[in-house]
């Protein structure tokens, strides 16, 4: 039941209960108390059922989001995440290590990623490039967030799109040089860069933990894909960083 319809029904039921109570007040008929309780009991049942339905819908939406992320993480964003992890100085972790980690070890890596450190500005620039190249993905993910009413995902996508716009504006202005060098001169912009890149690392690890906990087979498949991409970079077949 839609929220608007539920509010209308609630008003009708409360009004009906109020009417019975008024009749009891006028007539002193005790039976009216019992009649007044009926619409209130119905209203309580409606709220309980609606809450249950809403919870089921939210679970379904989150399940759909998990599968959407599975496709994006394994296909569209593979290069970005490999590049991001390759650029890290701390925590130093490979896809092979993530694959072999226990759930507790993954959570420890996630804790270390609260304040990640990068090898160099140049390494960060490569990751920034991947974010800009993936702009169509952020647009698509934002539209899905609107469709499924994922407010947290929507806010994250807006933040990333603003960031990629800043990078493209810098490059379109033909100022020359690397974006990250210019960002380093501005503490606000550098903080934004560090947050966007760090959020990427944390989002990947959060999703890995979710899969490890609820869908270990999907976790193994996804990390195997990333392990292959990592090895391809190491052998020079793919240039991520």
Note down pLDDT in tens along the chain; length 241 residues: 556 676 777 788 788 778 878 787 788 777 777 777 787 777 777 777 767 666 666 666 767 777 777 777 777 888 899 999 999 999 999 999 999 999 999 999 999 999 999 999 999 999 999 999 999 999 988 888 888 778 888 999 999 999 999 999 888 886 678 999 999 999 999 999 999 999 999 999 999 999 999 889 989 989 998 888 888 766 664 454 4
User: Same structural domain for residues 29 and 126?
Assistant: no
- Assess if residue 20 is contained within a domain: yes
Beta bridge partners of 118: 88
Domain contains 228: yes
Same domain, 83 and 46: no
> Which pLDDT does position 3 carry in this prediction?
61
In this structure, the answer to whether residues 18 and 85 fall within a common structural domain is: no
Strands (E), the chain: 88-90, 117-118
Residues 186 and 219 in one domain: yes
Query: Do residues 51 and 165 share a domain?
Result: no
Range of the domain at 102: 77-234
* Residue 70 maps to a domain: no
108-116 LR contacts (CB < 8 Å, sep 24+): 109/205, 110/202, 110/205, 110/206, 110/209, 113/198, 113/201, 113/202, 113/205, 114/202, 115/198, 116/88, 116/90, 116/91, 116/197, 116/198, 116/201
Token pair listed for 149: 């009413």
pLDDT value for 141: 87
Q: Max alpha carbon distance in the chain (Å)? A: 91
Residue 144, in any domain of the structure: yes
Nearest to 74, CA basis, from 221, 200, 214 = 221
Is it true that the peptide bond before 91 is cis, omega within 30 degrees of 0? Answer: yes
Please state the domain count of the chain.
2
Give the pLDDT of residue 59.
67
Given a contact cutoff of 8 angstroms between Cβ atoms, the answer to whether 45 and 26 are in contact is no
pTM here?
A: 0.73
Residues 38 and 127 in one domain: no
pLDDT score recorded for residue 238 = 47
Same domain, 122 and 30: no
Same domain, 145 and 113: yes
Name the phi and psi angles at 144, rounded to 5.
-65, -40
The candidate with the shortest Cα–Cα distance to 109, out of 124, 120, 94, 121, is: 94
Q: Are residues 97 and 156 in the same domain?
A: yes
Shared domain for 25 and 122, answered yes or no, is: no
The answer as to whether 61 is a domain residue is no
What is the per-residue pLDDT for 120?
Answer: 95
pLDDT of res. 205: 96
Asked whether residue 26 falls in the same domain as residue 110, the answer is: no
Dihedrals φ, ψ of 181, to 5°? -65, -40
Could you tell me if residue 150 is inside a domain? yes
Gyration radius of the chain's alpha carbons: 26
Q: Is residue 66 in some structural domain?
A: no
Domain identity same for 137 and 179: yes
Phi first, then psi: what are they for 233, rounded to 5°?
A: -65, -45
Residue 71 lies in a domain: no
| Contacts (Cβ under 8 Å, ≥6 apart) of 125 | 178, 179, 180
- In this prediction, residue 164 carries a pLDDT of 95
């Amino acid at each position: 039941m839609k929220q608007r319809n539920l509010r209308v029904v609630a008003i009708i039921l409360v009004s009906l209960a109020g009417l019975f109570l008024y009749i009891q007040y006028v007539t002193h008929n005790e039976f009216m108390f019992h009649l007044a309780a009926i619409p209130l009991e119905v209203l309580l049942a409606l709220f309980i059922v609606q809450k249950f339905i809403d919870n089921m819908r939210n679970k379904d939406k989150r399940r759909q989001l998990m599968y959407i992320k599975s496709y994006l993480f394994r296909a569209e964003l593979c290069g970005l995440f490999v590049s991001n992890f390759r650029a890290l100085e701390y925590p130093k972790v490979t896809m092979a290590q993530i694959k072999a980690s226990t759930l507790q070890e993954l959570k420890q890596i996630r804790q270390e990623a609260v304040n990640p450190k990068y090898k160099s500005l140049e390494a960060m620039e490569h990751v920034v490039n991947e974010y800009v190249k993936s702009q169509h993905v952020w647009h698509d993910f934002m539209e899905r967030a609107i469709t499924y009413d994922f407010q947290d995902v929507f806010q994250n996508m807006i933040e990333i799109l603003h960031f990629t716009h800043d990078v493209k504006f810098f490059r379109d202005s033909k100022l020359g040089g690397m974006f990250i060098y210019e960002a380093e001169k501005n503490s606000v912009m550098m903080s934004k860069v560090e947050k966007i890149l760090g959020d990427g690392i944390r989002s990947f690890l959060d999703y890995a933990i979710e899969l490890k906990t609820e869908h270990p087979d999907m976790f193994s498949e996804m990390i195997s894909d990333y392990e292959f991409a990592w090895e391809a970079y190491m052998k020079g077949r793919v240039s991520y960083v």
